[in-house]
Amino acid sequence: MPGFMTSVAFFAALASLPFGLIVGSFANVVIHRLPLGESIVFPPSRCPKCRGAIRPWQNLPVVSWILLRGRCATCRQPISARYPAVELLHGLGFALIVWKFGPLPFTLLLLLFFFALVVLAFIDWDHQILPDVITLPGILIGLAGSLLPGALIDWKESGLAAGFGYLAFLLVAEGYARLRGIEGLGQGDWKLAALMGAFLGAQRLMLTVFLASLSGMTYGLIQAWRQRREELRLPEPVEPMPPSGPDPAAPDAAPIAPENSPLAAAREPVSIGKFKLPFGTFLAACAIFVLFFGDPILLWYASLFRFE
């Protein structure tokens, strides 16, 4: 009964959309509070600006933000569009995952995997950390989940890929530290690699790392170029001030910057090697991309090496 199964998958996907919106609302709380060491269950949601309590009807995912036109109901201060965006991302992501992978036990864990990736991506972007409380249980859930119907890989590959991800990142980090004397990949990244390996297997993990390096490097180059351009726009700090009295048009005219002032420091040339890149954000985003589109890319890649 393929028609029947298709409609079951369709309705399951439809039902996961509101579920995803609610989980997305919770994801916002985790992204905001977990790095600050605050409880994620208590107190209930408050406006980050005026600390005013948010009433239940103001806490409907996406809808409330639109009805309140992106402002707090109490203090009318703007509320970041990131909140409804994270909710919408989960609603659509959950529906697409259930539609693509079907209503199977492992699909529930894929929803959890998606949630973990989005939360880690935002926390790494904001704070440059990948908290153990998400990555470590995630690795265990991925390993155990490989025994469930619908798993993308079997338990042997899950274990091998998790270990491979962790060790490969450790070795790259060690090598980088020896060469340049600075930490390139933090230990959070090693655990994130293990988490992605446990769920996705070695091939999808390698594709994820490749795409994350490519997009991360592109982003880093653009940022470095922008920073350089900003610096060239700064006024020359060592130029002597005009001998005339204070210019009324520019009451806050900058004094001559001494050698070690922030203005002088900002003119140091940018080194891309020292550019702080939230690599976990790129890894997590690319893992979501690979979850949906990785298999056709890997099949195409394998076909390049197939000789008839």
Q: Whose CA is closest to 117, among 60, 48, 52, 191?
A: 191
CB of 35 to Zn ion, least distance (A): 21
Cα(119)–Cα(134) distance, integer angstroms: 9
Q: Which residues bind Zn ion (CB under 5 A)?
A: 47, 49-50, 52, 72, 74-75
| Structure token pair of residue 103 | 């209503």
The answer to whether the CB of 21 falls within 8 A of the CB of 90 is yes
Distance CA 263, CA 95 (A): 50
Nearer to Zn ion, 70 or 184 (CB): 70
Q: H/E element holding 188?
A: helix 187-200
Which is closer to Zn ion, CB of 47 or CB of 96? Answer: 47
Tell the smallest beta-carbon distance from residue 47 to Zn ion (Å).
Answer: 3
Nearest distance, CB of residue 75 and Zn ion, angstroms = 3
Nearer to Zn ion, 49 or 100 (CB): 49
- If one counts every other C-beta atom within 10 angstroms of the C-beta of residue 161, the result is 27
Instruction: Decide whether 46 or 180 has the Cβ nearer to Zn ion.
Output: 46
Alpha carbon 75 to chain centroid, angstroms:
30
- Min separation Cβ 40 and Zn ion, Å: 20
Q: Which amino acid is at 24?
A: G
Which CB atom, from 52 or from 150, has the smaller least distance to Zn ion?
52
